[in-house]
């Protein structure tokens, strides 16, 4: 139930942002849906990531100062570990890209 609520909220935010940007630019929603989806997907990914170079360097610095080894349970990231909002946003981005390509197919 919680995942469904997050999916509806994320989808509502994506559609609302797309509508706002397209209304602001006086254009169609299909023109900006992919870009809004891409930006939101990147932002969600950045804020839900478990770390990377920055947290590894902090761990190494802590190890050097204390002499204690920092152990972690890092492994490959699976789909179940990802944020559900990220997956909804990624799906929106892919669907909006396909919709844009189909909509403008005669222009290519």
Which pLDDT value is given to residue 103?
94
**Residue at 71 is within a domain:** no
**Which whole number is the average pLDDT over 21-28?**
95
pLDDT score for 48: 75
pLDDT: is 6 or 81 the higher one? 6
Is there a domain that residue 104 lies in? yes
Question: Can you give the pLDDT at residue 93?
Answer: 97
Burial 23-52 (b: 16+ CB within 10 A, else e): eeeeeeeeebbbebbbebbeebeeeeeeee
How many whole angstroms separate alpha carbon 63 and alpha carbon 11?
42
Residue with tokens 């006086």: 26
Whole-prediction pTM value? 0.72
Q: Which tokens hold the place of 48?
A: 């839900």
pLDDT at 80 (0 to 100): 46
Residue 74: predicted pLDDT: 55
CA atoms within 13 A on the CB side of 53: 0
Domain of residue 90, residue span: 1-47+83-108
Number of domains composing the chain: 1
pLDDT of residue 41: 93
């Amino acid at each position: 139930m919680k995942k469904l609520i997050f999916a509806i909220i994320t989808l509502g935010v994506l559609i609302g942002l797309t509508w706002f940007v397209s209304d602001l630019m006086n254009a169609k929603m299909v023109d900006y849906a992919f870009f809004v989806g891409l930006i939101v997907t990147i932002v969600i990914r950045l804020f839900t990531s478990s770390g990377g170079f920055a947290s590894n360097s902090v761990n190494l610095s802590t190890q050097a100062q204390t002499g204690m080894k920092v152990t972690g349970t890092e492994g490959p990231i699976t789909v179940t570990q990802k944020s559900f909002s990220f997956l909804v946003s990624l799906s929106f981005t892919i669907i909006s890209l396909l919709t844009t390509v189909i909509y403008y197919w005669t222009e290519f």
